[in-house]
Amino acid sequence: MGNRTFAMIKPDATRNGHTGKILDRTIQAGFKVLGAKLIRMTKAQAEGFYAVHRERPFFEELTTFMSSGQTMVLALEKENAVAAWRETIGATNPAEADEGTIRKDFATSLGENAVHGADSDENANIEIGFWFTGSELISNQ
Ligand code: CMP
């Protein structure tokens, strides 16, 4: 068993028909999917999930966007999952993302950047707990 991270396929990517391609890239990169759910988060849920950014100038834009359509929330497992997922998705700003990363290929802007990844093990557990109950996380073994 490896570590866990929390990921999201954001409304821009689901709207543009990229959900399947991003999931395929995720699995091909060696991540095991422990949980997956298609949701449409409310504005209040977006504000709660991103509470750490409450004072940022982009908070309103971010929470409006994240509640604008479908999001796939994912609990992923891999050795060093948090760092491995951040490497797989690339820089937050797609203009700075490396070739071959998910954001390089699917993100359109800093605000609409296709995917999310937790930034630490601690936040990964908090974020997984925000969207999943323990019994919704399933091992394939
Ligand atoms: P994410 O990894 O989901 O975490 C916070 C999000 O805020 C980030 O991805 C970006 O999509 C968004 N974000 C960060 N900086 C800005 C910005 N300057 N303007 C708009 N959105 C931003």
> Model pTM?
0.96
Say yes or no: CB of residue 119 within 6 Å of ligand 1.
Answer: no
Say yes or no: CB of residue 60 within 6 Å of ligand 1.
Answer: no
Work out the mean pLDDT of the chain and round it to a whole number.
97
Say yes or no: CB of residue 110 within 6 Å of ligand 1.
Answer: yes
Is the predicted pLDDT of residue 141 greater than 90, yes or no?
no
Q: Please, which residues have CB within 8 angstroms of residue 20's CB and are 6 or more apart in sequence?
A: none
Say yes or no: CB of residue 26 within 6 Å of ligand 1.
Answer: no
Q: Distance, CA 10 to ligand 1 centroid (Å)?
A: 12
Q: Please, which residues have CB within 8 angstroms of residue 18's CB and are 6 or more apart in sequence?
A: 9, 106, 114
The alpha carbon torsion through 123, 90, 106, 36 (nearest 10 deg) reads: -30
Q: Distance, CA 57 to ligand 1 centroid (Å)?
A: 10
Share of the chain above pLDDT 90, in %: 96
Read off the pLDDT of residues 41-66 as tens digits, 9 standing for 90 and up.
Answer: 999 999 999 999 999 999 999 999 99
Read off the pLDDT of residues 109-118 as tens digits, 9 standing for 90 and up.
Answer: 999 999 999 9
DSSP 8-state code for residue 102? H
Q: Predicted confidence band at 1 (pLDDT cuts at 50, 70, 90)?
A: low
Q: What pLDDT score does 140 carry?
A: 76
Q: Distance, CA 34 to ligand 1 centroid (Å)?
A: 25
**Ligand 1, atom 22: closest residue by C-alpha:** 111
Indicate which residues carry an active-site annotation: 116
115-117 and 32-39 as β-strands: parallel, antiparallel, unpaired?
Answer: unpaired
